[in-house]
C-alpha cells in the first residue's frame, strides 16, 4: 500500500467525536478556526477565551499527531518588552506576571501562510456573501416601508413571495452592476 493511501486511511481518536481520518480532522480544525474568527467579531470575552482554548486544543492535536507537516505551524516567538507592556495594559496583569507565565512556553501557532489561505478560502467568501445578503435585505425592507407595507401576509408562502419580489430587484441589479449605480441620497 502506498504511503499516501496509508496516511489517508489512518484515523485519529477524537474522543466523543469518534474516529476521524486526516481529511476530516483538518476540516474540523478549519471549521473551529473559521467559527472562532466569526464569533470573535461579537466581542464576548468569556466565549472568546473558551473558543480560543478549544481552537488551540484542536490544532495542537493536529500538530502533535503529525496530521499535517510542520510547515503548517510556527513556534511562538518570544515577546519583546514592548509586547509585554502592551499585553499588560490590555490584560491588566503586571509585566512580571506576564513575563513569568510566558517564559518557558513551547507553543506553536498556525503559520501565517496557512492562516491567510484559510481566511482567503473560507472567511472572505463568507464576508462577501454576507455583505450582499445584508445590503439586499436592508434595501428591500426600506422599499417595503416606503411602499407602506406595514404588515406582512400571515401565509408564509405569500410572505416569502412578497419579500422575494423586493429582494430580487436588488439581486438582479447587483449581479449586473455591482455597486456602480448605488447612490447615497441625503
Return the pLDDT at 1: 45
| Contact in structure between 123 and 37 (CB atoms under 8 Å) | yes
User: Nearest CA to 73 among 87, 63, 64?
Assistant: 63
In this predicted structure, what is the pLDDT of residue 136?
A: 93
Taking only the tens place, the pLDDT of each residue in 64-105 is: 888 888 888 877 666 667 777 776 777 666 777 666 655 555
Residue 13 lies in a domain: yes
Kindly list the distances between the CA atom of residue 133 and the CA atoms of 85, 119, 147, 171, in Å, as whole numbers in the listed order. Answer: 42, 20, 21, 9
The verdict on residue 102 lying in a domain is yes
Q: Domain count of the chain?
A: 3
* Among candidate residues 91, 110, 129, the one where a domain is terminated: 110
Q: Which residue, of 61, 90, 110, is where some domain finishes? A: 110
Relative orientation angle of helices 81-91 and 95-102, to the nearest 10 degrees = 110
**What's residue 177's pLDDT?**
92
- Residue range(s) defining the domain that contains residue 2: 1-71
Does the pTM of the predicted model rise above 0.75?
A: no
What pLDDT is stored for residue 133 in this prediction?
92
**How far is residue 81's CA from residue 87's CA, in Å, rounded to a whole number?**
10
Those residues of the chain that have pLDDT short of 50 are 1-2, 5-6
- Tell me the CA end-to-end span of the chain in Å, nearest whole number: 69
- Please say whether the beta carbons of 25 and 62 come within 8 A: yes
Amino acid at each position: 500500500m502506498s504511503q499516501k493511501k496509508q496516511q489517508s486511511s489512518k484515523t485519529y481518536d477524537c474522543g466523543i467525536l469518534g474516529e476521524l481520518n486526516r481529511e476530516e480532522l483538518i476540516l474540523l480544525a478549519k471549521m473551529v478556526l473559521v467559527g472562532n474568527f466569526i464569533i470573535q467579531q461579537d466581542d464576548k470575552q468569556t466565549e472568546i477565551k473558551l473558543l480560543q482554548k478549544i481552537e488551540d486544543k484542536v490544532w495542537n492535536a493536529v500538530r502533535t499527531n503529525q496530521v499535517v507537516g510542520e510547515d503548517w505551524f510556527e513556534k511562538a516567538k518570544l515577546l519583546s518588552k514592548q509586547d509585554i507592556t502592551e499585553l499588560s495594559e490590555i490584560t491588566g496583569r503586571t509585566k512580571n506576571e506576564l513575563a513569568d507565565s510566558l517564559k518557558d512556553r513551547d507553543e506553536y501557532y498556525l503559520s501565517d501562510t496557512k492562516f491567510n489561505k484559510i481566511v482567503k478560502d473560507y472567511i472572505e467568501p463568507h464576508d462577501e456573501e454576507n455583505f450582499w445578503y445584508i445590503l439586499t435585505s436592508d434595501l428591500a425592507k426600506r422599499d417595503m416601508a416606503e411602499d407602506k407595507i406595514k404588515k406582512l401576509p400571515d401565509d408564509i408562502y405569500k410572505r416569502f413571495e412578497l419579500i422575494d419580489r423586493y429582494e430580487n430587484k436588488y439581486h438582479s441589479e447587483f449581479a449586473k452592476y455591482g455597486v456602480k449605480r448605488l447612490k447615497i441620497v441625503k
